[in-house]
Amino acid sequence: MWDAVVVGGGLAGLIAGIRATQRGKRVLLVTEGVGTLFHFSGIFDYGDVEGLRHLPKHPYTLFDSQAITQGKHFVQEICPEYVVNDRPQSAFNVLGTVRQGDLMPRSMVLPDPQEQGVFVLLVPEGLKDFFPEIVADNMAREFPGWQVSVKRMQVDALQEWTRLGKSVTSIDYADIWRSEEGYRALAHEIDEIKRQFQDAGRSQGKIVVVLPSLVREYFDASRTKFYRNEFSLPVLEMSSFVPSPHGRYFAEYLKHIFTDLGGELMIGARAVSLKGELNSEGHAKICQELVVRSMGKLMRLKGKKFILATGGLLGGGIKVGMARRSIRESVFDLPLFIPQEWSVPQFLAPQPYAQIGVETDQFMRPLDPVSGQVVWDNVHVVGRMLAHWDPWTQRCGGGVSVTSGYAAAELI
């Protein structure tokens, strides 16, 4: 029997699995697909934590400030390149404008805008959906004391792609930079930039190379160290766009950490049924086993605790049929909070459907919204499946996922 079965392989589920295995628990993580973590930009947003904790039923009301801080430092512990500060930090997004974030890699953190220097936007040829002229103009507006120049780079490995007009994604380029050949080509290009500025007599100011498609070794799931030597100029990464190399490599990185600690991973498994009984008080049920279908076979997974981290509406954890009444949670058939109106007509306004999810008690056990009673005594709900929050307008998606996943692992 497992100490915990984690259902869902997104950010909250992986954080829960890693922390529980780190604590010496026997953990199985079951996931049907790759999860929405592949859309991760590389930056964690926590939002206005203290303000959100005063909103009725927001997930942050389940945790004190210490629990939220512990989650932040746990991310830094398992990924040391992430920087934890008391105040938000700033990074370039893929349009060249500045966005704030609460937890990001040090290679994304922008320099002081009061300084003076030069940004060299290094643009790989053929990069899909990237518009260097727009990006450079935005960077110049955001950093008026800095000069911005654009340097285009051809990559031998993809010359045939660009000749045929085939688009190259940031994931394609990130793969190339992580090869020995790609690293050498990139290092050579950066050396050339440094030499050109020195020859022009502009070596006194700060020169920073900005690259839209680099993911440094802190997301290296294979543990190879192609960036063992620093480049000759500082390199600043931009946050990712979809398809996201940061999301892909971060998901793989977390999975490797989980399995290295002794956790077991089952990919491509879909929950089909479960078995439970009433607890000793005769109220909440206790889940005894979860039945999943994997590679055409049914498997019975027995666990002491179960963590539900299937990602809500976007992650597929909540299924919506043609009729509104058919909306349901797909694993434990948990009762859902559903607002009376799902949407509002105002463009970019907060949408009520974002609040759909499972209400819980302070231990993240699912509640019946009508009776207020715990439904499953040994099930903990984390991440996007929690009700009463909006990751987009409240900008707290990473914070809620990390905090709830970490806190659930502490209950195993």
Tell me: the pLDDT tens digits for 354-382? 999 999 999 999 999 888 999 999 999 99
> What distance in Å separates the CA atoms of residue 241 and residue 249, rounded to the nearest whole number?
13
Q: Which is more confident, 349 or 218?
A: 349
Determine the pLDDT at residue 147: 93
Full-model pTM:
0.93
2-83+249-410 under CATH 3.40.50.10860, yes or no: no
| Tokens matching residue 344 | 């509002």
Return mean pLDDT, the chain: 89
Q: Where are the domains of the chain?
A: 2-83+249-410, 109-237
Tell me: the pLDDT tens digits for 154-203? 888 887 877 777 888 888 898 898 888 889 999 999 999 999 988 776 65
Least confident of 67-81, 93-107, 135-149, 339-353: 339-353
3-state SS string over the chain? CEEEEEECCCHHHHHHHHHHHHCCCCEEEEECCCCHHHHCCCCECCCCHHHHCCCCCCHHHHCCHHHHHHHHHHHHHHCCCEEEEEEEEEEECCCCCEEEEEEEECCCCCCCCCCCEEEEEEEECCECCCCHHHHHHHHHHHCCCEEEEEEEECCHHHHHHHHCCCCECHHHHHHHHCCHHHHHHHHHHHHHHHHHHHHCCCCCCEEEEEECCCCCHHHCCCCCCCCCCCCCCCEEECCCCCCCHHHHHHHHHHHHHHHHCCCEEEECEEEEEEEEEECCCCCCEEEEEEEEEECCEEEEEEEEEEEECCCHHHHCCEECCCCHHHCEECCCCCCCECCCCCCCCCCCCCCHHHHCEECECCCCCEECCCCCCECECCEEECHHHECCCCCCCCCCHHHHHHHHHHHHHHCC
Least confident of 73-87, 252-266, 370-384: 73-87
**Cis bond before residue 366 (omega within 30° of 0):** no
Above 90 in pLDDT, residue 306? Answer: yes
Determine the pLDDT at residue 190: 95
- From residue 100, give the alpha-carbon distance in Å to each of 85, 88, 118, 226: 12, 6, 21, 29
Above 60 in pLDDT, residue 289? Answer: yes
Q: What is the pLDDT averaged over residues 111-135?
A: 91
